[in-house]
Structure 1
Amino acid sequence: MIGILAIILSLAGLMYFAYRGYNVLVLAPIMAAFAVILAQGGPVLATYTQVFMTSLGRYVVLFFPVFMLGAIFGKMMADSGASTTIAHTIIKRLGARHAITAVTLACGLLTYGGVSLFVVAFAIYPIAAALFREAQIPKRLIAGSIALGSFTFTMTALPGTPAIQNAIPTRFFGTTTFAAPGLGLIAAAIMLFGGLAWLTWRQRVAQNAGEGYGEHKEDLQTFEDGERPGFLLSVLPIIVVIGLNALFSLIVFPRMDLAYLAQQAYGNVQPAAVIGTWALIVALVGAVLTVLVCHRRYLRDPQGTLNQGTMGSLLPIFNTASEVGYGAVIASLSAFLLVRDAVLSIAPDTPTISMAIAVNALAGITGSSSGGLSIALDTLGSTYLERAVALGISPDLLHRIATVASGGFDSLPHNGAVISLLTITGLNHRQSYSDIFVVNLLVPVLALITIIVLGTLFGSF
């Protein structure tokens, strides 16, 4: 009982202090040490160096290339003006009347192309603010629109998305980022259209009540057309990311002789465990080179952009890796066996349901989709895979359900991306969180339930 209490109090402390703005790099090991002391009296230092840091380091080793290349690519797209061009073009075509849809689609295209959601928020907000002001749509709806386009269907559902949430399951299930494409598209459609339906209804209610944009002090950024590439040139790197990812994950690497991976020098791994990550690395390298070649004249300081993008990848990956390290410490406690058995006892004959609940719960507790997903699969992934194989369930179905599940309860108020988005837009939880809650939590959970049902009835497709 003391062990369970230690886990609960530790998790509550992690959520509370993260919400208060404490850095997870310091917070995670402190809360982990607290759990260890309360549950079993120590050893604290051995747990920190041998469990926490080992797990943190393993996560960095596996996923740092994807974080770094994604951050560099996103920074180059932003600094060259390509992100701005894409946003402007979509918004101009749809017009102020459809401002919410325009902002959502602009964010979706950029994040599906590999641009960091934080970069997208910074790039889109000034444009969205000007457009919402022109259309007299309440500013409080900007956060929900950006969140819908950046944190939902392009992060977890669309097949082939280079988001880290879509890459993590490839290591555990031997799948690719294009796993269960049909179910992914269905989930994406539910998230997109469900979210848009909610936000446009909220717009209509506000405007019927006479609420306009509101009075806000803003210093909105302006953009010059001649200082950025045209639309076709801007979307070319995104096409490269998606195309190369599909080519190498589905055709090139599966046809190569990768038997040498069985050697101890290469980790003695199955090819399926690395193909998904390799394909993303190749795709992002190709996209970065495409930007350097095609957008060279628009990059005023390529070296500075490269350096800033590289450094910009460090905090996100170490934040996530710290949460993974925290999860490893919790999983090492004897009391966690009770928690694990309780989770596994939920629909034991249906690992898809059990896994969805576990991933969602851990993502909600940590306030991180990638952190919760990694913790769940690190501790329970092999068990779910064994049960699925025994029941004839495709690993592709596990992959897509796990990825979509990571994007539900992660969006609770202490989520770092939510807090950053509200800071960027100059809004607060009271003004905008209700909309974020619906489009980032309720609708994605509905999409998750839908694909679980469809996957159970019809299998992976």
Structure 2
Amino acid sequence: MSILGILIALGLLIWLAYRGWSILLLAPLCAVLAALLAGQPLLANWTQVFMPSAADFVAQFFPIFLLGAVFGKLMEASGSVEAIADYMTKKLGTGQAILAIVLAGAFVTYGGVSLFVAFFVLAPMGHALFKAANIPHRLMPAAIMLGAASFTMTAMPGTPAIQNAIPMPFFGTNAFAAPGLGILASAIMLAFGLWWLKLREKQARAAGEGYAFVGGGEEIAESAAEDETIRERATTAREFDPEEIGRGGMARTVPPFAVAALPLVVVVIVNLLMSFVVLPNYDASYLTTDAFGNVTLSAVGGVWSVIVALLVAILVLVVTNFSRLPDIRVTLDSGANASVLPILNVASLVGFGAVVAGLPAFEMVKEWVLGIEGGPLVSLAVSTNILAALTGSASGGLTIALDALGPTYMQIATETGIDPGLMHRVAVIGAGTLDSLPHNGAVVTLLAVVGATHKDSYLDIVMAAIVGGLIALVAVVALGSLVGSF
């Protein structure tokens, strides 16, 4: 009955979340239901298991959620994201419309801009570009997803995405874990996605199909930002509350490309310096005292690197764009507010996962996962894929998987000589594939922002964001098993 209870609770969570119910209510309700069906104490599971686990997630990762949202909001309000996207489109032209949208999305998100900020800026520009190139607008969601929500989220070494930060405390790694394999995976995702989208464009032209979208791109995006159901789904999937899009005003003039791109470059460079120069030479022996949690530098260093990188980038952005920001206080407040609901939603999913992992029947699930043929890398990839798919959240599914199995995988890595960085990269790429199922908040939000439907556009999203990711994951697992991490 306990296994059945877990399935019932998880099914109810997924079904009601997809219908727009708040995860803040659903997660504890479904966690208590799972405990009830397993014959476990209800209040104890809520207050002593669910809440501490959720609180630990907030304590570890709220600085990244907060600074990431503030940085994204400043990039939006200063016109920097628009300037970068406009530069890409002008340089590549309408003849390379798909490539321009993909590269613009990849550049801004790899530099730390929140996914939904990229969505709401790229969609209107995508409409203009696809219209000029006479490309069916149904291909636009896949192009945006490929650039903004695939390899720059999970595979590119150094990405400040929260998904890339989550494994750090578990494996003692930093954002540049398994850099060679990460670059290889990124190249596979990008190449496969572009091949598919160009093939679909060619097929559409041969069939005489063009743009044919009626309506304004900006109006569609604004309407999506105000939809409460979309907001509930979106804030479970990613780290920015769409309701804060557009608040605080926008710059009257966009900055030059070099000025717009500078903060993104700063994020990557500072993250790199912190990870390989500053922290390795930093005396953090005080961390082993009770006052600071009795931890090692490796357990917190990766998160510290991302925090410092975002802080420095925010300062650079404010200094170089101060005159353009219409109301810096409102913009900062809006960015801070945009981080609250997403982290609480994901933390609630983590709390649900902690309750489920503590049930007696979960030992059977754990044994099944660890017993998957192919070794620990395969079982890790499968577990993160499944949980990200079920929750519709890469960050939520990844944290649940690592909370339940992370110490076990770390022990296996130590005993078998597997580089923890390889475990890190496999886990992140695994979480970023099947999370993009139809109920995923990012997918639902993107379709609404673009003005497309699952019927017209989801197949291309599957190919660009899921199939390409799975191919890259298989390549990383196979190569990592043969030659190790690099």
TM class by shorter chain equals: over 0.9
1:234 lines up with 2:260 in the alignment? yes
Partner of 2:293: 267
Specify whether residues 225 and 296 from structure 1 end up closer, same or farther in structure 2 by C-alpha distance, changes over 3 A only: closer
Correspondence 1:305 to 2:331 = yes
Does the 8 Å CA contact 2:394/2:431 hold for their aligned counterparts?
A: yes
Q: 2:76 aligns with which of 78, 97, 102?
A: 78
Residue equivalent to 1:370: 395
Alignment partners' CA distance in 1, 2:104 and 2:130: 14
For 2:319, the equivalent position in structure 1 comes to 293
Counterpart CA distance in 1 for 2:59 and 2:214 is 44
Residues 177 and 276, structure 1, Cα contact 8 Å, conserved in 2: yes
Query: Aligned partners of 2:9 and 2:412: how far apart in 1?
Result: 30
Q: Which residue of 2 aligns with 1:447?
A: 472
Q: Contact (CA 8 Å) 1:66, 1:281: kept in 2 or not?
A: yes
C-alpha deviations, 1:16-54, integer Å up to 9, x for none?
Answer: 2222222211121122122122221x4222211111111
> Does 2:65 align with 1:39?
no
Residue 426 (structure 2) aligns with: 401
> Residues 156-184 of structure 1, C-alpha deviation per residue, up to 9 Å, x if partnerless?
00000000111111100111110110000
Q: In structure 1, how many angstroms separate the alpha carbons of the residues matched to 2:8 and 2:337? A: 34
Partner-residue secondary structure (3-state), 1:298: coil
Work out whether 1:330 is the aligned partner of 2:356: yes
1:58-457 to 2 correspondences below 5 Å: 58-218=56-216, 220=218, 227-347=253-373, 350-457=375-482
Equivalent-residue separation in structure 1 for 2:251 and 2:206 (angstroms):
36
**Aligned-residue offset at 1:226:** 7.0
Q: Name the amino acid aligned to 1:380.
A: L
In structure 2, stretches of 5+ residues that fail to align are 222-249
One-letter identity of the residue aligned with 2:263: P
More deviation, 62-71/24-33: 24-33
CA contact (8 A) 2:159 2:175 kept: yes
1:267 deviates by 0.6
Q: How many residues align?
A: 457
Q: For the Cα contact (< 8 Å) 2:127–2:217, is it kept in 1?
A: no
Q: Give the Å deviation of 1:419.
A: 1.1
Letter of the 1:273 partner, please give it.
A
1:5-44 to 2 correspondences below 5 Å: 5-40=4-39, 42-44=40-42
Deviations 1:269-297 (A, max 9, x none): 11101000001110000000001100111
- 1-structure distance, mates of 2:217, 2:400: 41
Contact 1:73 1:284 in 2 (8 A): yes
For 2:20 and 2:100, locate their aligned partners in 1 and report how far apart those are by CA, in whole Å. Answer: 32
Shift of 1:219: 5.1
Return structure 1 stretches of 4+ with deviation > 3 angstroms: 219-222
- Equivalent pair of 2:3/2:362 in contact (CA under 8 Å): yes
> How far apart are 1:438 and its partner, in Å?
1.3
Cα displacement (A) at 1:143 = 0.7
Contact 2:136 2:204 in 1 (8 A): yes
Q: Is the 8 A contact 1:229 1:295 kept in 2?
A: yes
Distance 1:268 1:219 in 2: 52
Change (3 A) 1:365 1:121: same
Counterpart-to-counterpart distance in 2, 1:219 and 1:253: 45
Distance 1:72 1:226 in 2: 20
Indicate how the Cα distance of structure 1 residues 443 and 219 shifts in structure 2: closer, same or farther if over 3 A, else same.
closer
One-letter code aligned to 1:29: P
**Letter matched to residue 98 of structure 1:** Q
**CA drift at 1:215:** 3.2
In the alignment, the residues of structure 2 paired with residue 34 and residue 210 of structure 1 have an alpha-carbon distance, to the nearest angstrom, of 54
Output the CA distance in 1 between the equivalents of 2:209 and 2:15. 34
The offset of 1:227, in angstroms, is 0.4
Between stretches 425-434 and 276-285, larger displacement belongs to: 425-434
- Structure 1 stretch 4-13 or stretch 227-236: which is displaced more? 4-13
For 1:56 and 1:151, the matched residues in 2 are separated by: 25
Contact 1:19/1:413, CA 8 A, preserved across alignment:
no
Q: Which moved more, 1:14-23 or 1:337-346?
A: 14-23
CA deviations over 1:96-124 (Å, ceiling 9, x no partner)? 11111110100000000000001000011
Q: Which amino acid aligns with 2:23?
A: V
Structure 1: 5+ residue stretches without partners: none
| TM-score, L = length of structure 2 | 0.92
For residues 437 and 38 of structure 2, what CA distance do their matches in structure 1 show? 27
